[in-house]
Amino acid sequence: MYAYDELDRTLLNERVEEFRDQVKRRLSGELTEDEFKMLRLQNGVYLQLHAYMFRVAIPYGTLSSKQLRGLAHVARTYDRGYGHFTTRQNIQYNWIKLAELPDALASLAEVGIHSMQTSGNNTRNVTSDQWAGVAPGEIEDPRIWSELLRQYTTLHPEFSFLPRKFKFAITASAHDRAAIKIHDIGLRLHRNAQGEIGFEVLVGGGLGRTPFIAKTIRPFVHGRDLLSYVEAILRVYNQYGRRDNIYKARIKILVHELGVEKFAAEVEEEWRAMGESALTLDDGVIEEIRSRFSYPAYEKLPHMPEELKKAAQVPPFERWRRNSVFTHKVQGYSIVTISLKPVGAPPGDATAEQMDALADLADKYSFGEIRVGHEQNLALPHVAKRDLPALWKALDKLGLATPNVNLVSDIIACPGLDYCSLANARSIPIAQELTRRFANPDTAELIGRLHINISGCINACGHHHVGHIGILGVEKNGEEFYQITIGGRADEHAELGMLIGPAVPYGEVADVVEDIVEAYLALRERPDELFVDTVKRLGVEPFKERVYATR
């Protein structure tokens, strides 16, 4: 956990007071809606279909139990008793009142949480691996660097009015859980030949209407130069990114139009011109940030405790353990993913009661720490294996033990037309119907790893391009239609999915997905050939044939 100090707290309180003043000036009419819009966006406040939506940052996906209770408090006091975890380690509230927002922000500030720059054309919440610090084989905890970047990008005097939004993601593991290749800047932490820590820097990834996988512009930037190199990228983008067309304003378009070599050369030139920069991080500074992360005092525990051996005889427990419990870097401990995808419910939602109860369980079983992943699930990062049976029972009572992590019903979906003013089609009911179709856990387990991602419009908040099966809502003659892609993925082998054919109407989407899954089961070479690998091997054709033969 990163502990805020007096300076962090002061800045946060100053920000809350500034926003309170801005809301007051809007309510009195001193600020026009046009002037206010950017100010509220910079504080995570959107105007949606029915009300204001409020997006709160969970930097690099780490929460303390106290902070989770703070999020529950906001859900209960200022919203309708629940919150929605997003694909970028944020939580959204859908029914907030403008006049109450400053108080909601102030209550979050008390637990060191904020909504700064969770929307608007600025640098957004810095995201990372939800298993940071606990994943086996990780090179170093990427949150140290994430926090350095969080501070650097917060209220930046030069880069708060960029051409468009700008997102960072960092990973320090071979397996990328942070989806760095679909970010404006993706950072892969690794060591050079001298054993020094640095980053492969990728630029220009992003989804939306013109999806791109990020490209590497420098294989190694030394850790001490991370901020100056990032500043060079942002300066090039701030000056030369397009501002004439909102759909061409992301850095991916600049990189595409210049070509990645030319873009990299521009950055390099700017970086050299910066010379010895005040942004250079000496070891003391890095150590300062590192020292404010605290780590649990793990016990020496057996690999296979008695409690676990006994519980293995209980089939529902064993199913959950097989599905949701992952290897921790410390023997005797596990990482437990908490599915927020129960059958028939909107993906990523949690009630205030669930958040409070989970905070209690984190205190009891996970050193008071909770993680949030981009798949819209939560995790308890440090659970002693002997506690797994008791934890499972408690989670099950809360409806938080659905054993579908990484399976077909672990769906990523945006809020869609049920909430969002940009959407063309509904996302949530599609997801709900699919979870009902694949409710049988034996079937889901048989199918194996399969990510379905749903977006209600081309802005792609549900990351449909990188779903193993991607579903995109479009509007045709006033009706909801859905384009289906297959073969996308967001990890270290990131790829964009391929369209299988013409869009299908709302009522047929679940049938089509069932057809695709059945085709896969018939086509796979072995039970452990994943859906996405079968698609890679065979291409779209056999799936297309299956889906459109009868339509």
Local structure of 452: helix, strand or coil: strand
- What's the rounded Cα separation, in Å, for the pair 513 and 517? 6
From 82-90, 154-162, 316-324, 451-459, span contacting other proteins (CB under 8 A): 154-162
CB 94 within 8 Å of CB 419: yes
Among 3, 10, 192, 436, binds other proteins (CB under 8 A): 10
- The verdict on 392 binding other proteins (CB under 8 A) reads no
CB of 163 to other proteins, least distance (A): 8
- The verdict on 17 binding other proteins (CB under 8 A) reads yes
CB 420 within 8 Å of CB 49: yes
Helices within 209-368 (DSSP H only): 226-240, 251-258, 260-274, 283-291, 306-311, 315-324, 352-365
- The verdict on 39 binding other proteins (CB under 8 A) reads yes
- What's the rounded Cα separation, in Å, for the pair 441 and 66? 34
CB 163 within 8 Å of CB 242: yes
Q: Which residues contact 128 (CB under 8 A, 6 or more apart)?
A: 60, 61, 89, 142, 143, 146, 169, 170, 171, 178
- The verdict on 265 binding other proteins (CB under 8 A) reads no
Among 3, 14, 24, 269, binds other proteins (CB under 8 A): 14
- The verdict on 106 binding other proteins (CB under 8 A) reads no
- In the chain, the amino acid numbered 445 is E
Cα→Cα distances 378→89, 141, 338, 348, 471, Å: 10, 19, 5, 9, 23
- The verdict on 390 binding other proteins (CB under 8 A) reads no
CB of 278 to other proteins, least distance (A): 4
CB 549 within 8 Å of CB 496: no
Positions 214 through 253 that interact with other proteins (CB under 8 A) = 235, 238-239, 243
The sign of the torsion formed by the CA atoms of 547, 548, 549, 551 equals positive
Cα→Cα distances 419→100, 122, 199, 415, 456, Å: 20, 24, 38, 6, 10
Residue 75 vs 249, nearer CB to other proteins:
249
Among 38, 51, 98, 301, binds other proteins (CB under 8 A): 38
Burial bucket for residue 114 (CB in 10 Å: 0-12, 13-18, 19+): buried
The secondary structure element, H or E, covering residue 471 is: strand 469-476
Query: Pick from 321, 319, 337, 461: which is nearest to 410 by CA?
Result: 337
Please, what is the end-to-end C-alpha distance for the chain in angstroms? 53
Local structure of 148: helix, strand or coil: helix
CA atoms in the 13 A half-sphere facing the CB of 104: 27
From 282-290, 390-398, 506-514, 539-547, span contacting other proteins (CB under 8 A): 282-290
- The verdict on 7 binding other proteins (CB under 8 A) reads yes
Residue 7 vs 549, nearer CB to other proteins:
7
- In the chain, the amino acid numbered 487 is G
From 10-18, 368-376, 384-392, 418-426, span contacting other proteins (CB under 8 A): 10-18
The sign of the torsion formed by the CA atoms of 176, 178, 183, 189 equals negative
Among 3, 27, 33, 35, binds other proteins (CB under 8 A): 35
The two tokens of residue 22 are 């801005």
Residue 7 vs 193, nearer CB to other proteins:
7
Residue 64 vs 228, nearer CB to other proteins:
228
Site string (111-130) toward other proteins, x via CB under 8 A: ----------x---------
- The verdict on 29 binding other proteins (CB under 8 A) reads no
Residue 54 vs 237, nearer CB to other proteins:
237
Among 195, 245, 272, 278, binds other proteins (CB under 8 A): 278
Among 66, 76, 80, 156, binds other proteins (CB under 8 A): 156
Rg of the chain's alpha carbons, rounded to an integer?
A: 23
Residues in contact with other proteins, counted by CB under 8 A, come to a total of 36
Residue 43 vs 404, nearer CB to other proteins:
43
- The verdict on 210 binding other proteins (CB under 8 A) reads no
Among 27, 97, 136, 158, binds other proteins (CB under 8 A): 158
From 156-164, 170-178, 209-217, 538-546, span contacting other proteins (CB under 8 A): 156-164
- The verdict on 139 binding other proteins (CB under 8 A) reads no
Local structure of 364: helix, strand or coil: helix
Site string (60-99) toward other proteins, x via CB under 8 A: ----------------------------------------
Cα→Cα distances 488→211, 450, 495, Å: 12, 11, 5
Q: What are phi and psi of 546, to 5 degrees?
A: -60, -45
Among 160, 216, 327, 459, binds other proteins (CB under 8 A): 160
- The verdict on 269 binding other proteins (CB under 8 A) reads no
Residue 9 vs 322, nearer CB to other proteins:
9
- The verdict on 299 binding other proteins (CB under 8 A) reads no
From 180-188, 278-286, 333-341, 407-415, span contacting other proteins (CB under 8 A): 278-286
CB of 154 to other proteins, least distance (A): 5
- The verdict on 257 binding other proteins (CB under 8 A) reads no
Q: How far is CA 159 from the centre of its chain?
A: 23
Summarize as ranges the residues that interact with other proteins (CB under 8 A). Answer: 5, 7-8, 10-11, 14, 17-18, 22, 30, 35, 38-39, 121, 151-152, 154-162, 235, 238-239, 243, 273-274, 278-279, 284-285, 288
